[in-house]
Amino acid sequence: MFNAIALRYFNPVGAHESALIGELPIGTPQNLVTCITQTGIGLIDRFSIFGNDYPTPDGTCIRDYIHVVDLANAHVVAMKRLLEENNTESFEVYNIGTGKGSSVLEVVNTFEEVSDIKLNYSFVERRSGDIISAYANTIKANTVLGWKSELTLKDALHSAWEWEKKNRSK
């Protein structure tokens, strides 16, 4: 018999503080933060925000954005739990996120704040299947694993921007 832990990620964003490790999608980016940073650096002229008529404070979808370094730390804690045989079930599942949501416009505004760049974006029709809001219930990860996200959305966007600038200047 083997033991396993599954980590259910919410929206990983950001880069390592060294700016050596970050997200480099092949082709057109599909993730919000990559669209934002590539617009900021000038690779994308304008990006689209899908819907501005959701029943949220600013009309845009809400998601839980977790810094990739916090996500990596969750992996370390989970592996330690398995290696020390502290798991209480052979298969455990934990939600890994911040436990709070940020709207698309909050992400855009936070990026503009950390980069001092005004982004070019437009609102387009909603995508089929997009839900209004999704964020992690992290109580089990916090209490059982003893893990909690520590970095902020601002930290994540700053690190993603530093990575983008460093890698596009080569």
pLDDT tens-digit series, residues 95-142: 999 999 999 999 999 999 999 999 999 999 999 999 999 999 999 999
Superfamily of 4-19+29-168 according to CATH: UDP-galactose 4-epimerase, domain 1 (3.90.25.10)
Neighbouring residues of 44: CB distance < 8 A, sequence distance ≥ 6: 29, 35, 38
pLDDT tens-digit series, residues 4-17: 999 999 999 999 88
Query: Which one, of 12, 9, 14, lies nearest residue 96 by Cα?
Result: 9
pLDDT of residue 169: 64
